[in-house]
Every structure is written in C-alpha cells, then in structure tokens.
Amino acid sequence: MSPKNDRLVASALTSQEMPSDKMSELAFLGRSNAGKSSLINALTGVKMAHVSSSPGKTQRIHFYRMKNWYLVDLPGYGYAKVPKSIREQFGQAVEDYLTSRQPLIGGILVQDIRRDPQEEELTVIRWAYERNLFIAIAGTKMDRLNKHEQKMRIDRLQDAYHLEIYPISSRTKEGVDKLRDAIRGLGLIM
Ligand SMILES: Nc1nc2c(ncn2[C@@H]2O[C@H](COP(=O)(O)OP(=O)(O)OP(=O)(O)O)[C@@H](O)[C@H]2O)c(=O)[nH]1
Ligand SMILES: [Mg+2]
C-alpha cells in the first residue's frame, strides 16, 4: 500500500464493509467534480483522497482514520458518464449511509461556488435535518472568480441554503483554516 493510503481503512458499498467500532464520522459529499477529494487533502494536509483527472472516479464510500473520528469521502452524484447501473448502486449506498448510519454526526456539503443548489443538494440537506445532523456548505474553487463575483456567489448561496457557507479554494488554501476550525468545534481532532 502506498504511504498516501495509510489512513484508508475501508472502501465500502454495504454497511458490512464499514468500520464497526462506532467512532464518529463526518462525511464529505457533493456533486461529482465539486472538489471533495481536493478539499479533504487540503484540510488534512495529507494526500489521502484521490483527485480525479476525470470526474466520477470516487465510486465507493471511503473511510479515512483521523484521531478520534473517520473522515468519509462519499461518491459524487450527478455524473452522467458513469454507467447507470453503477450510478444507481452507489446512489443507493449514499442514501442508505446518510439516512441510517449511526456513527454519522454530520456532513460537509461540497459545492462549486459558481453553481446553484439543485434537487440533489436540497435532498441531502433534508436528510441531514431529519436526523439533526450538523451540516455546512463548502463553496469550492473560489480562485476561479474575481473579488466581486466571489461576493455575489457567497451571498447567493447564503440565500439559497440558509446555512453557513465556507468559501474555499483548495488551490490557494483560502478558507481552509476556517473550515478546519469548524470541524474541530465538533470535537473532532484533526
Ligand atoms: N481551481 C480549482 N480547481 C479545483 C479546486 N478544487 C478542486 N479542483 C479541481 O476540480 C477537479 C475535481 O476535483 P476533485 O477533488 O477530484 O473532485 P471530487 O468532488 O472529489 O470528484 P469525484 O471524486 O469525481 O466526485 C480536479 O481537476 C481538481 O483539480 C479549487 O479549489 N480550485
Ligand atoms: Mg473524489
């Protein structure tokens, strides 16, 4: 196993394949290509999640061991080029995970700051509310916008979600510290 994967403890599709020690889990989820894996690597300072050169590569639920929790990288939804049968299989796995996984305490919904929320994002938020899970929005790829556009997009997502928006660039590391602090605020030690 390569050093970057030392923390990967499970790549699961079914609950039987997931860790059974009941340590808290925080999930990173969002549309394919939104920048989940890049954000995970920027937050942890470890190149542990695979950054896709072509989107739709994360097709299993990956569990990475942190000090007192598991960081969970969920497959990105909404990527058309992944065959439908596979898409449905991991779509179901993600839904099962988010709606019934007991150690799950919350999610970071990762979304390209330039995009508006769609049906899938709102569904995810509803699941989180139904279970009283922590949820925050990480608006990625801020480096793609100028200052004026950045402000417009942050305001827009704030209005759409009514949740805390963490504007982020995994490329320049802007905003990464602030999100890391929020995660620490949940009692999760990086
Ligand atoms: N400019 C810029 N590009 C980014 C940023 N974050 C991610 N990217 C790029 O966006 C593409 C997708 O990034 P990933 O981190 O693999 O996205 P993902 O959400 O994990 O994608 P899937 O695993 O396919 O669902 C890659 O080409 C990244 O280099 C960012 O903050 N700024
Ligand atoms: Mg990924």
* Predicted local confidence at residue 51, as pLDDT: 78
Q: Chunk the chain into consecutive blocks of 10 residues (it has 190) and report each block's average pLDDT, rounded to whole numbers.
A: 72 94 96 92 89 67 95 79 67 88 97 94 90 96 98 97 96 98 96
Q: Are 55 and 136 in contact (CB under 8 A)?
A: no
> What confidence score (pLDDT) does residue 134 get?
96
Q: Which atom of ligand 1 is nearest to the CA of 168?
A: 31
Interval between CA 74 and ligand 2 midpoint (Å): 8
What is the set of domains in the chain, with CATH numbers?
3-184 (3.40.50.300)
Span from the CA of 38 to the centroid of ligand 1 (angstroms):
5
The count of other CB atoms within 10 Å of the CB of residue 123 is: 13
The CB of 36 under 6 Å from ligand 1? The reply is yes
Q: What is the pLDDT of residue 119?
A: 86
Atom 2, ligand 1: which residue's CA is nearest? 141
Contacts 24+ apart (CB under 8 A), 15-21: 15/96, 15/97, 15/101, 18/61, 18/63, 18/101, 19/63, 19/70, 19/103
pTM over 0.95: no
Taking the CA of 54 as reference, the closest ligand is 1
Pairing of strands 134-140, 104-112: parallel
* Rounded distance from Cα 51 to ligand 2 centre (Å): 6
Mutate to test the pocket of ligand 1, among 28, 37, 38 (most ligand atoms within 8 A of CB): 38
Distance between Cα 33 and ligand 2 center (Å): 7
Nearest ligand to the C-alpha of residue 76? Answer: 1
> Cα separation of 43 and 177, whole Å?
7
